[in-house]
Amino acid sequence: MKSILFVYHASNIGGGTYCLLNILREIDRKKYQPSVLLCTDGDLVKEIKALGIEVYFMPSMTLVPYNKSLWNPRVLRNYTRIKTALTDFGRILEKLKPDAIYLNTTMLAPYLTVAKKKGCKTAIHLREHWPLNEHVKQLSKIQKIITSYADQIVAINGYSASMVPNRQSTIVYDWIDLSKRYEYRPFDDIFGEDTSKLKVYIFTGGLQDIKGASEVVDVFRKRITDKNKRLLMVGVSPQPNRSGLKNKVKILLEKLGFDTYDLKVRKMIASDRRIVCIPATYAMKHIMEQAYCNLSFFTIPHANLALAESIIVGTVPVAARTEESIEYSHGGDLALLFELGSQDDMLNKLNDLDNNYEMIKAKLANERHFVEDQFDRKRNAAVLDGVYERLFQN
């Protein structure tokens, strides 16, 4: 039996952690013995341990800054910290002695070099959208590391695969299995009113700027005046997170009178009673099923798995047009896609939805099987199993 150490920096609820958890659930335990290395404890740990999989921690784990300028002091600090992290990673590999490592993000690429020196087989999962013409020197360094030190490369979609053009990547979609993500949560309970005649938009990006939280809230409260419409912000806790240095700095700045991004969005939300917030939840199926539409406003292109999830449950997605959103919606046919960064065009698409709702819903019902097949658990798990087999062939 071969041992594989899966490495990831995040342990909170999110796209990358969903993917890792799904991978661990499907891996053939008769062939492979998985273990996981994370930076910190979090919601993911309980789920992994419930699978009977060992979890280890490396607090010094540091990522390569994602598409950032070298002139940023914080970026330079991260590159310095990576050197220390690589040393710590080497010690962990010497202790655990895995046969292979599986890095769950492109931004851990430097760790490939240490793993190869320690005699491990190496795999990396590309899940980012780094524009090929931005910060080219930093990207080129990552490309060279992956090309030279990765035995197998997995990508979540076509664009991610294109980021390392000199090597063949295996596309494995972050499969969608909503069977274990159902919890009965009627909108009447969430909103505290009869929602049978209301149109509820859901936004699943929390308070993240790259998900366009401020833009969505701004458009809804200023330009969507219908009293029978509601906005449900998923991933927004009633009180700000006070743990961690970054959040403590935010709280300090707010006390000093500075409006952080989080505080600005929270103030905007508080100004409109039609907007309701709930914390992040893994059990999203019932919430999505009840929604009038799934609204997103990505400010930079990246994978929009919630778009594909909403299509599968039959809820109309309204999202920015990117390579990923087109790929995830059957060539753009099963979503209303607006120009990236355009609030005006987003509003146009929402008006189109109001005017053609029944026709759009019928198209979803008839054609969503294309997206179901694309993100099918069994199909993608089988493709990934082929990656493991090739990993240990030589």
**Whether residues 292 and 162 fall in one domain:** no
pTM: 0.88
What is the mean pLDDT of the segment spanning 302-331?
A: 96
**Chain Cα centroid distance, residue 259:** 26
pLDDT band for position 357 (50/70/90)?
very high
Q: Would the pLDDT of 331 be above 80?
A: yes
Q: Report whether 380 contacts 172 (CB < 8 A).
A: yes
Residues 306 and 386 in one domain: no
Instruction: Kindly give, in sequence order, each residue whose CB lies less than 8 Å from that of residue 369, ignoring residues fewer than 6 positions away.
Output: none
One domain, residues 108 and 208: no
Contact 204, 254 (CB under 8 A): no
Tokens representing 49 are: 């341990």
List the end-to-end C-alpha distance of the chain, in Å, as a whole number: 15
Q: What is the pLDDT of residues 114-146, one digit of tens each?
A: 999 999 999 999 999 999 999 999 999 999 999
Cα–Cα distance measured from residue 187 to residue 286, given in angstroms and rounded to the nearest whole number? 9
The CATH number of the domain holding residue 134 is 3.40.50.2000
Answer yes or no: is pLDDT of 394 > 80.
no
Q: Does the structure show a pLDDT above 80 at 249?
A: no
Cα 198 to Cα 228: distance, rounded to the nearest angstrom: 5
DSSP codes, 7-68? E-S--SSSHHHHHHHHHHHHS-TTTEEEEEEESS--HHHHHHHHTT-EEEE-TT--PPPTT-
Residue 46's Cβ-side half-sphere holds a number of Cα atoms within 13 Å equal to 4
Using pLDDT thresholds of 50, 70 and 90, give the confidence band for residue 75: confident
Quick one: 252 and 384 in the same domain? no
Alpha carbon of residue 115 to chain centroid? 26
The helix/strand/coil state of 199 is strand
164 with 184, same domain: the answer is: no
Residues in Cβ contact with 33 at an 8 Å cutoff, skipping those fewer than 6 apart: 1, 2, 3, 4
Amino acid 243: pLDDT: 61
Cα–Cα distance measured from residue 345 to residue 347, given in angstroms and rounded to the nearest whole number? 5
Mean per-residue pLDDT, 102-117 = 97
Q: How far apart are the C-alpha atoms of 361 and 358, rounded to whole Å?
A: 5
Cβ count near 29 (within 10 Å): 13
Q: Are residues 238 and 127 in the same domain?
A: no
**DSSP class of residue 234?**
E
Q: How many domains does the chain have?
A: 2
CA separation, residue 371 to residues 88, 291, 335, 336 (Å): 41, 19, 11, 15
Judge contact between 242 and 235, C-beta under 8 A.
no
What is the C-alpha separation between 7 and 37, in angstroms, rounded? Answer: 5
- Looking at the fold, whether 252 and 340 belong to one and the same domain comes out as yes
> How far apart are the C-alpha atoms of 171 and 169, rounded to whole Å?
6
Q: What is the pLDDT of residues 150-175, one digit of tens each?
A: 999 999 999 999 999 999 999 999 99
Q: What is the pLDDT of residue 177?
A: 87
Q: How far is CA 361 from the centre of its chain?
A: 26
- Judgement on whether residues 138 and 234 belong to the same structural domain of the protein: no
Phi and psi at 312, nearest 5°, equal -65, -35
HSE of 297 in the Cβ direction (CA atoms, 13 Å)? 26
- Does residue 120 share a domain with residue 208? no
> Other CB atoms closer than 10 Å to residue 301's CB: what's the count?
19
Q: Give yes or no for a contact between 93 and 101, defined as CB atoms under 8 angstroms apart.
A: yes
Residues 36, 140: one domain? yes
% of the chain with per-residue pLDDT over 70: 95
**238-255 mean pLDDT:** 65
Q: Provide the pLDDT confidence category of residue 282 given band limits of 50, 70 and 90.
A: confident
Per-residue pLDDT averaged across 302-310, rounded? 93
Encode pLDDT of 253-271 as tens digits. Answer: 667 667 788 889 999 999 9
Q: What is the pLDDT of residues 169-225, one digit of tens each?
A: 999 999 998 888 899 999 999 999 999 999 999 999 999 999 999 999 999 999 999
As to burial, measured by CB atoms within 10 angstroms (0-12 exposed, 13-18 middle, 19+ buried), residue 134 is: exposed
Rounded distance between C-alpha atoms, residue 87 and residue 302, angstroms: 31
User: For position 123, what pLDDT does the model report?
Assistant: 98
Tell me which residue range forms the domain holding 40.
2-175+376-391
CA–CA separation, 248 and 292 (whole Å): 37
Percent of the chain with pLDDT over 90: 80
Task: Tell me the pLDDT of the chain averaged across its residues.
Answer: 93
Residues 7 and 152 occupy one common structural domain: yes
Cα separation, 165 vs 168, in Å, equals: 8
Instruction: Report the phi/psi class of residue 135: left, alpha or beta, with left for phi > 0 and alpha for psi in -120 to 50.
Output: left
- Give the span between the Cα atoms of 146 and 143, in whole angstroms: 5
Bigger pLDDT: 137 vs 394? 137
User: Does 84 share its domain with 58?
Assistant: yes
Q: State residue 4's pLDDT score.
A: 98
